[in-house]
Structure 1
Amino acid sequence: MTSFALNVRLEGDSYFVADLPLSSVRLMKDANYPWLLLIPRKPDLVEIIDLDESDQQQLMREIAIASNVLRSVTDCEKLNIGALGNMVSQLHVHVIARFRDDAAWPGPVWGAAPAETYDPEKADTLIEQLWDALSSEGE
């Protein structure tokens, strides 16, 4: 059995936020949209159905937690959630805060606008807010 290793593209395209019981939570490095990734820390996963039933249920709980946290921190108008995996096959779930005035509204975020680099201070502040909110969700 192989051990979990984070895909290098997912690692390079995101900042670490926190670990939940199953998944690593990461913030995409695109300031156009507050955008979380949930990456189950188990090896060789491509699809949600590759998880056993209890881990599938845990992932759904963690998607709900991440969604609640992202909505509370950003006051977004809509959440987009998806597990595409067309570019990176390692199982990961996108939880994206959407606003009527964002660069892609009302369409999907992929390819709508070039990724915008976070100001380092703003990224740190958002990560701290997300971490605090995730920590309080577990209490």
Structure 2
Amino acid sequence: MKDFALGAFDLNSQLANDCIVLGDFPVCRLLLMNDSQYPWFILVPRVADAEELYQLDEEVQQQVLRESSFFAEVLSVLFDAEKMNVAAIGNMVRQLHIHHVVRYSHDIAWPAPVWGKFTAIPYSEEKRSEVLAKVTEALSGDFPFQMAV
């Protein structure tokens, strides 16, 4: 796997406050949104000052797409998704980030988008550990991923 020279990177403070850092793919940092109502993850390309996908050089864009597609498939299988919502909106948090939300027709926000719909319900320690273990095991395969320490 290519080593991407990404330079300086700071995670937006809103993302840092709302999420739990799980680790890094070659280009993206993986976060778990601390809202137990949905399996909701966020990929953040570790590129300084990036707000839009088109601002990344082509090779990094392609790697972000590979990481996002791979992870969406992992989540779909892992959580038996009815639908995967994958989106980069960025109206509230300008830093480029891509939401990966596992959806079910019985979830609280269905069929509307999840953002801004309901107040987040943080994970209990037990439930967070369970989700982290599940995702960690699923990412222990061939696709490069480094868990946070």
Q: Identify whether the pair has TM-score above 0.5, normalized to the shorter chain.
A: yes
Per the alignment, residue 99 of structure 1 pairs with 104
1:47 to 45, 52, 65: 52
C-alpha displacement of 1:18: 2.0
1:136 to 135, 138, 141: 141
- List runs of 5+ in structure 1 lacking aligned partners: none
CA distance in 2, matches of 1:7, 1:126: 23
Per the alignment, residue 65 of structure 1 pairs with 70
Is residue 2:91 matched to residue 1:86? yes
Q: What amino acid maps onto 1:117 in structure 2?
A: P
1:14-45 CA distance string (max 9 Å, x none):
11122100000111001111011000111010
Q: What amino acid maps onto 1:111 in structure 2?
A: G
Q: Percent identity?
A: 41
RMSD: 1.3
1:70-122 CA distance string (max 9 Å, x none):
11221111000100000110000001000111111011112222111111111
Per the alignment, residue 130 of structure 2 pairs with 125
Q: Helix, strand or coil: the match of 1:136?
A: coil
Structure 1 residue runs of 4+, over 6 Å off? none
- List runs of 5+ in structure 2 lacking aligned partners: 1-6, 145-149
C-alpha displacement of 1:65: 1.4
- Structure-1-length-normalised TM-score: 0.94
Is residue 2:10 matched to residue 1:5? yes
- Structure-2-length-normalised TM-score: 0.88
- 8 Å CA contact 1:65–1:134 kept in 2: the answer is no
C-alpha displacement of 1:135: 2.3
Per the alignment, residue 117 of structure 2 pairs with 112
CA 1:137–1:68 in 2, change beyond 3 Å: closer, same or farther?
A: farther
Q: What amino acid maps onto 1:40 in structure 2?
A: P
Q: What amino acid maps onto 1:76 in structure 2?
A: A
C-alpha displacement of 1:137: 4.6
CA distance in 2, matches of 1:137, 1:83: 26
CA distance in 1, matches of 2:119, 2:70: 28
